[in-house]
Amino acid sequence: EAGVAQSPRYKIIEKRQSVAFWCNPISGHATLYWYQQILGQGPKLLIQFQNNGVVDDSQLPKDRFSAERLKGVDSTLKIQPAKLEDSAVYLCASRGQLTYEQYFGPGTRLTVT
């Protein structure tokens, strides 16, 4: 079974630029999560999707962050405009209907200069 795929793996941008990250969950997993992990911290949930609907986006900075999962499979997370404090690893995870475990992708490391 293929794992959660993410791209790009690394991205360097200047502040005020925009950036987008892509995630492809494990096949058949209806629930998808985006987490932000700042260096030295544990991951923090940004948004949770169930199929193509948003379940929880209470910790998403909506003035600059947006996410979508149009067909209930792949998802994109966008930051516009980026700030220095957005430098972090962005992790995507998915979970099946009958399982409790979340499976994580390798992450995208974003550096904002």
Partner 1 sequence: KQEVTQIPAALSVPEGENLVLNCSFTDSAIYNLQWFRQDPGKGLTSLLLIQSSQREQTSGRLNASLDKSSGRSTLYIAASQPGDSATYLCAVRVYSGGGADGLTFGKGTHLIIQP
What is the contact surface with partner 1 in residues (CB under 8 A)?
A: 4, 33, 35, 40-45, 48, 50, 55-56, 58, 91, 93, 100-107, 109
31-37 and 44-50: which strand pairing? antiparallel
Q: Which is nearer to partner 1, 76 or 102 (CB)?
A: 102
Q: Which is nearer to partner 1, 50 or 76 (CB)?
A: 50
Distance of CA 35 to the CA centre of its chain: 5
Tell me the H-state helices in 1-113: none
Q: Which is nearer to partner 1, 1 or 101 (CB)?
A: 101
Nearest approach, Cβ of residue 70 and partner 1 (Å): 19
Q: Indicate if the alpha-carbon torsion angle 37, 63, 13, 69 is positive or negative.
A: positive
